[in-house]
Amino acid sequence: MYKKKECIAMLLAGGQGSRLFTLTEKTAKPAIPFGGKYRIIDFTLSNCINSGIDTVGVLTQYQPLVLNEYIGNGQPWDLDRTFGGVMVLPPYQKSKSADWYKGTANAIYQNLNFIERYDPDYVVILSGDHIYKMDYSAMLDHHKKMEADCTIAVLDVPLDQASRFGIMNCKDDGAIYEFEEKPAEPKSTKASMGIYIFNREVLSKYLIEDEEKSESSNDFGKNIIPSMLNDGKRLYAYEFSGYWKDVGTIPSLWEAHMDLLGENPVFNLYDSTRRIFSRSESRPPHYIGEGATITNSLISEGCEVHGTVENSVLFGGVYVAPGAVVRDSVIMSDTQILEGSEIYYSIIDSDTVIGKNVKLGAGQKNNKFKITLIGGELNINSDDKIPAGSMVNEAFLANQK
């Protein structure tokens, strides 16, 4: 007889992430590298174990190979449990049907049997593509205190950005009385973070009812939350005031990396009270050459730097040759930047070789710069000049010839 779990987490990790262009051509967005030694999903998995949640279902769909391999048995996050732990949940063929996940709500609906196996009182619904640190146990305590059927984590956003989010209007005690998914004219700035806590029986009821509606888009923001409000269920907002970043675009991914830099970074990876765990490669220490100049940068294991690196993040195994300059950029693992090349405001994916005297993103003004993206496993010819803001893959290089 299995013992019951008070709370389990369901982590939605199947999005295509098409706005990240070449970075997600072969990799699911939650598996994209971040911060020199992590992947995006590390932050949500670490939040779970730091919050005392030891059972996590990871719902995958798009390009899952790298993500599945990375998660493995969950050992780096202390999620290799005999009962519970982490489990990858792809779509599968049932006795009467086989469906892809049609929306966020449908993805959870197709895995109700996984939830019921642990007989939880509460279910936390999470996304695997945000950068933040959060104590879900504090949110759960608030959920219990308010006797809520559903609690939604909210973040105050600028009014000009509010139309990108699910926006809610609340009473003074946080009770939600109106919810609009990506409204053209937002009535408030309280934005959903895509983090929900449900009473398990309520969640199951509304997922089953939603599945029976042929016109439904099977989405929490568009269908489940409005249905619960219409039925008078108790929905409450839980206000979050810490750092949170949706890294679903190239500019936002670059900005999040820049937020890691400085003596007092906007997002602090060095806070030992809420550590971020990862499945990191074992590499030798980084080497800084005698003629190298490094300013305000993160340099990971296995790097070899002989040139100039400023305001940048270098992942493991990056080589910067003598005379090369890297400024305001993110260089992913095992990339080589050869002599005389200048890299500005760029993201370069793994295993790429930047030839000699290449210019990337040069000549930009600080307040109007565009981020240049170079795909993985590419060879940029010596003396090439790549225009600022270019999205470079094999097809781009073929057209340059």
Per residue in 39-69, pLDDT (tens digit) is 999 999 999 999 999 999 999 877 778 899 9
The whole-number pLDDT of residue 308 equals 98
Q: How far apart are CA 384 and CA 357, in angstroms?
A: 7
Number of H helices, E strands in the chain: 9, 31
Report the run of H or E that residue 372 belongs to, with start and end: strand 372-374
Closest by Cα among 153, 202, 226, 235 to 218: 226
Strands 33-34 and 38-39: antiparallel
Q: What angle do CA 253, 257, 284 make, to 5 degrees?
A: 120
Closest by Cα among 19, 20, 49 to 135: 49
The whole-number pLDDT of residue 192 equals 93
- Three-state SS for 249-294 is CHHHHHHHHHCCCCCCCCCCCCCHHHCCCCCCCCCCCCEECCCCEE
Strands 150-156 and 190-199: antiparallel
Q: How far apart are CA 68 and CA 54, in angstroms?
A: 18
The whole-number pLDDT of residue 14 equals 67
The whole-number pLDDT of residue 95 equals 44
Q: How far apart are CA 391 and CA 358, in angstroms?
A: 16
Map residue 327 onto helix, strand or coil.
Answer: strand
352-390 burial, b if ≥16 CB within 10 A, otherwise e? bbbbbbbbbbbebeeeebebbbbbbebebeeebebebbb
Query: For every one of its 401 residues, what pLDDT tens digit does the chain have, with 9 covering 90 and above?
Result: 467 999 999 999 866 667 788 888 888 889 999 999 999 999 999 999 999 999 999 998 777 788 999 999 999 999 999 899 999 998 765 545 556 677 889 999 999 999 999 999 999 999 988 999 999 999 999 999 999 999 999 999 999 889 888 999 999 999 999 999 888 898 899 999 999 999 999 999 999 999 888 788 888 989 999 999 999 999 999 999 999 999 989 999 999 999 999 999 999 999 888 899 999 888 999 999 999 999 999 999 999 999 999 999 999 999 999 999 999 999 999 999 999 999 999 999 999 999 999 999 876 766 678 999 999 999 999 999 999 999 998 888 888 76
3-state percent helix, strand, coil for the chain, nearest multiple of 5: 25, 25, 45
Q: Find out whether 194 and 278 touch, Cβ atoms under 8 Å.
A: no
Map residue 78 onto helix, strand or coil.
Answer: coil
The whole-number pLDDT of residue 2 equals 63
The whole-number pLDDT of residue 96 equals 57
- The residue written with tokens 């040759």 in the block is 321
Map residue 316 onto helix, strand or coil.
Answer: coil
Q: Can you give the pTM of this predicted structure? A: 0.93
Q: How far apart are CA 321 and CA 344, in angstroms?
A: 16
The whole-number pLDDT of residue 19 equals 79
Count other Cβ atoms within 10 Å, centred on residue 336.
Answer: 20
Q: Find out whether 382 and 365 touch, Cβ atoms under 8 Å.
A: no
The whole-number pLDDT of residue 367 equals 64
Map residue 198 onto helix, strand or coil.
Answer: strand
Half-sphere exposure at residue 236, Cβ-oriented, CA atoms within 13 angstroms? 22
Q: Find out whether 13 and 58 touch, Cβ atoms under 8 Å.
A: yes
The whole-number pLDDT of residue 94 equals 59
The whole-number pLDDT of residue 135 equals 97
